């Protein structure tokens, strides 16, 4: 963080920073302090830039600046087929690429009017929940690290590592998975992968308890978060918070329950809420949500049927590679889909899933071509970040990292 002069900040940003006061820019730079935090700052979880107006150590205002990781995915999506965009969804929320894959596949399937076979949907449910656990583990660990407890980060990342091992067996990639396909998943889940999942969920809960014992009774950790960044339920809905950040304000809203997709309507799980609305509540929601995810995975593993993992629908779904090489018909379909796309009938859909950060939605407009006419990504991190200015107001400067950490933004997703 460094002190700014007038030339460093765009006048419009300064104007926004001073919008609710009547002090002049010169005055603010002279008598108050305007600090620049980020985009290269370890506690902003990527390239988030915050401009902070301070009176002593108290925050009087804050303006987030986004766009340092803007790669224009919405523009790219308009220029490629629905299949080609799957790898790009990995790079949105790169801490839970699997749930982005699932969200994209579900959105395109809804647009095309097809549905994946039950086994594929169960696999998708398992990987979404594993991705949620992996993402929440990073969120918990890095929040603890932001407020000074380094050990927790190492311990939660050790657990996450085991999930990455599952991805490794499942699809060959540990980080950017691209595992789902339109109409199913890339390959059936191998017995080894499922055995690894089973092993993971059996040993996870004691390990989580262990991590929690490090911080839940740690006075420094609790006092850094308790009562910091409070937002009431009505304000949270008004500002558009979703996911754990909303449930930390006591709103029982979870798309898995409200608008069930996949087979979530058959699963028995609790929507975790905490009433306080502060950073500590948001942390508690995340930790408890991973426990519910374990419950969902356990049920899904039990109920998972045998059968195909890819829909047999030659006009919309790419056939399996082995068949392309051995059968004429499949070769033709492959050629048509790769070259001309799946051409969903004209129309538009919005499909949202509950990803680890909140509501991840895709709005797709088809004109009947192989490429989407319009693709809008409703990314939870982007919307959740909007709450930062009102959350930090009146707190100390050191609380900013705790508040940003408790919202758990991923800039790949916020900047698209």
Partner 1 sequence: MPLSKELIEQKLNEKFSGESFVFTEHRNELTVSLDKKNIAALCKYLKEEDQLAFKLCEDITAIDWAKRKNRFTVVYHIFSIKQNFRLTLKADVDESDCNIDSVSSVWKTANWHERETFDMYGIHFNNHPDLRRMYMPEEFEYHPLRKDFPLMGIPGSLSLPKNKN
237 near partner 1, judged by CB under 8 A: yes
**Which residues in 351-368 are b (16+ Cβ under 10 Å) and which e?**
bbbbbbbbbbbbbbbbee
13 near partner 1, judged by CB under 8 A: yes
107 near partner 1, judged by CB under 8 A: no
Name the one range near partner 1 by CB under 8 A: 62-70, 142-150, 294-302, 331-339: 62-70
238 near partner 1, judged by CB under 8 A: yes
Q: Is the peptide bond before 159 cis (omega within 30 degrees of 0)?
A: no
Q: Least CB distance from residue 385 to partner 1, whole Å?
A: 8
Residue corresponding to tokens 């004109």: 367
260 near partner 1, judged by CB under 8 A: no
Residue corresponding to tokens 């960044």: 229
When binding is defined by CB under 8 A, the residue of 43, 47, 51, 66 that contacts partner 1 is 66
Q: Least CB distance from residue 328 to partner 1, whole Å?
A: 34
**Residue (72 or 227) nearer to partner 1, CB:** 72
Question: Taking CB under 8 A as the rule, which mask of x and - marks residues 358-387 in contact with partner 1?
Answer: -x-x-x-x-------xx-x-x---xx--x-
12 near partner 1, judged by CB under 8 A: yes
Contact call for residues 191 and 179 (beta carbons, < 8 A): no
Contact call for residues 68 and 39 (beta carbons, < 8 A): yes
**Which residues in 133-149 are b (16+ Cβ under 10 Å) and which e?**
bbbbbbbbbbbbbbbeb
When binding is defined by CB under 8 A, the residue of 56, 67, 172, 275 that contacts partner 1 is 67
When binding is defined by CB under 8 A, the residue of 271, 301, 331, 349 that contacts partner 1 is 349
230 near partner 1, judged by CB under 8 A: no
Residue corresponding to tokens 């657990």: 159
113 near partner 1, judged by CB under 8 A: yes
259 near partner 1, judged by CB under 8 A: yes
Name the one range near partner 1 by CB under 8 A: 105-113, 125-133, 305-313, 315-323: 105-113
Q: Least CB distance from residue 201 to partner 1, whole Å?
A: 30
Name the one range near partner 1 by CB under 8 A: 133-141, 232-240, 299-307, 326-334: 232-240
Name the one range near partner 1 by CB under 8 A: 6-14, 35-43, 173-181, 268-276: 6-14
Q: Least CB distance from residue 384 to partner 1, whole Å?
A: 10
**Residue (212 or 348) nearer to partner 1, CB:** 348
Q: Which residues bind partner 1 (CB under 8 A)?
A: 7, 10, 12-13, 16, 19, 66-67, 70, 72, 74-76, 78-79, 110-111, 113, 235, 237-240, 242, 251, 253, 258-259, 347-350, 352, 359, 361, 363, 365, 373-374, 376, 378, 382-383, 386, 415-416
């Amino acid at each position: 963080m460094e002190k700014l002069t007038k030339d460093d900040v765009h006048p419009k940003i300064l104007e926004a920073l001073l919008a609710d006061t009547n002090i002049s820019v010169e005055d603010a730079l002279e008598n108050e302090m305007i600090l620049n935090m980020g985009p290269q700052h370890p506690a902003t979880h990527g390239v988030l830039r915050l401009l902070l107006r301070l009176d002593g150590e108290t925050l009087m205002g804050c303006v987030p600046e986004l766009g340092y990781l803007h790669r224009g995915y919405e523009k790219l999506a308009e220029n490629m087929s629905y299949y080609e965009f799957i790898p790009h969804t990995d790079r949105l929320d790169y801490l839970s690429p699997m749930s982005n894959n699932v969200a994209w596949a579900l959105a395109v399937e809804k647009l095309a009017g097809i549905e994946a076979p039950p086994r594929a949907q169960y696999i998708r449910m398992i990987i979404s929940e594993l991705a949620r656990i992996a993402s929440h583990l990073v969120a918990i660990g890095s929040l603890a690290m932001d407020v000074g407890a380094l050990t927790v980060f190492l311990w939660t990342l050790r657990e996450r590592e085991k999930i990455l091992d599952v991805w490794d067996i499942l699809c060959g990639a540990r980080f950017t998975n691209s595992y789902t396909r339109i109409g199913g998943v890339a390959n059936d889940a191998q017995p080894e992968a499922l055995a690894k999942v089973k092993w993971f969920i059996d040993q996870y809960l004691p390990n989580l308890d262990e991590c929690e014992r490090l911080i839940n009774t740690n006075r420094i950790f609790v006092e850094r978060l308790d009562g910091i960044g409070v937002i009431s339920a009505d304000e949270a809905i008004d500002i558009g918070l979703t996911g754990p950040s909303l449930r930390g304000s006591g709103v029982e809203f979870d798309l898995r329950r409200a608008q069930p997709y996949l087979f979530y309507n058959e699963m028995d799980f609790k929507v975790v809420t905490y009433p306080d609305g502060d950073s500590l509540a948001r942390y508690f929601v995340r930790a408890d949500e991973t426990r519910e995810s374990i419950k969902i995975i356990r049920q899904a593993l039990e109920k998972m049927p045998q059968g195909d993992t890819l829909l047999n629908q030659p006009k919309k779904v790419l056939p399996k590679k082995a068949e392309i090489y051995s059968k004429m018909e499949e070769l033709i379909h492959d050629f048509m889909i790769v070259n001309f796309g799946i051409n969903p009938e004209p129309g538009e859909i919005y499909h949202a899933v509950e990803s680890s950060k909140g509501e991840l939605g895709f709005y797709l407009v088809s004109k009947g071509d192989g490429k989407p006419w319009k693709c809008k990504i409703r990314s939870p991190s982007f919307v959740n970040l909007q709450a930062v200015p009102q959350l930090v107001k009146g707190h100390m400067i050191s609380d900013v990292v705790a508040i940003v950490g408790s919202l758990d933004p991923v800039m790949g997703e916020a900047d698209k």
